[in-house]
Amino acid sequence: MTAHFLRLLPFGALLLVSGAAPRNALRICADPNSLPFSNAAKEGFENKIAELIGKELQRPVEYVWWAQRRGFVRNTLTAGSCDLVVGTASGVEMLATTRPYYKSTYVFVSRHDRGLGVTSLNDPRLKQLRIGVQLVGDDFANTPPAHALANRGMTQNVTGYTVYGDYRQPHPASRIVDAVAKGDVDIAVVWGPLAGYFAKRSPIPLDVVPVRPRVDLPYLPFVFDIAMGVRRGDSTFRASIDGIIERRHASIDSILADYGVPRVDVSLARQGAGQ
């Protein structure tokens, strides 16, 4: 199944769905293999939030699947085959973003039994540890921790794991968390929602600790507001989504808590099961 994951699932669906969807369907642009965010079996928290939005709008939810890569927005939302991206950094220029509905952070992930207690990029012990970090390829940008560690002269003790991972696997992004559990690296710096979800499911107890500083000077943020995205110009639709985010924030918070999303915008109590 996994070898043919991509072949079978997502992109045939692109054509079917956009042609056959009910006229009033809420068409979601999403990655079919990107847990904990979304997948074709609708097991991600963005799938749950999409269902909630669909109920509020009284419209059936349909998906247009496309891998989350450069060109995702262009090939889905901008192409007009779907109307809503459930997770995007707030203020991204490619689309029109709604009010943010959560704020998360990069986190340190390490084995609980190691008792490392690293909370800051400035912790001198990091230089002695093997560190896993999420990387993209030679595509003009990288993740904040990749830059922050390099700025501190840490490159020889750093192992890169591509954020895209091996797309043949059912949740390609989990490899960096697995590497911590297996002991391939001592600690990893991972985007919060990923780390929270996979740490929760790890048979080996893992510590998930927000990265400090939140903004590495001169300006390298580790915390991000996450919003939903609509096409630029769809201001009426955006306003209706904004309204739902405001009305249903408690339900959305509860979904995020179920998935262990580390939050920096709500109290720990509201995060419930989050570690």
Which residue, 94 or 266, has its beta carbon nearer to another protein?
A: 94
Q: Which of 129, 180, 194, 256 binds another protein (CB under 8 A)?
A: 194
Q: Which of 99, 147, 249, 270 binds another protein (CB under 8 A)?
A: 147
Residue 151 as a binder of another protein (CB under 8 A): the answer is yes
Q: Which of 16, 125, 127, 137 binds another protein (CB under 8 A)?
A: 137
What is the nearest approach in angstroms of another protein to the Cβ of residue 271? 19
Which residue, 210 or 221, has its beta carbon nearer to another protein?
A: 221
Q: How far apart are CA 126 and CA 211, in angstroms?
A: 13
Q: How far apart are CA 127 and CA 150, in angstroms?
A: 11
Residue 55 as a binder of another protein (CB under 8 A): the answer is no
Residue labelled with tokens 């039994």: 113
Give the footprint of another protein on residues 157-186 (CB under 8 A): 157-160, 162-164, 166-168, 173
Which residue, 89 or 239, has its beta carbon nearer to another protein?
A: 89
Q: How far apart are CA 260 and CA 101, in angstroms?
A: 15
Residue 265 as a binder of another protein (CB under 8 A): the answer is no
Burial status of residue 112 (CB atoms within 10 A of its CB: 0-12, 13-18, 19 or more): middle
Q: Are 118 and 209 in contact (CB under 8 A)?
A: yes
**Which residues, other chains included, contact 33 with Cβ-Cβ below 8 Å and sequence gap of 6+?**
5, 6, 9, 10, 39, 40, 67, 167, 170, 171, 172
- Name the DSSP letter for residue 209: E
Which residue, 57 or 94, has its beta carbon nearer to another protein?
A: 94
CA atoms within 13 A on the CB side of 87: 22
What is the nearest approach in angstroms of another protein to the Cβ of residue 184? 10
Q: Which of 42, 51, 59, 67 binds another protein (CB under 8 A)?
A: 67
Give the footprint of another protein on residues 201-230 (CB under 8 A): 217-221, 224, 226, 229
Residue 128 as a binder of another protein (CB under 8 A): the answer is no
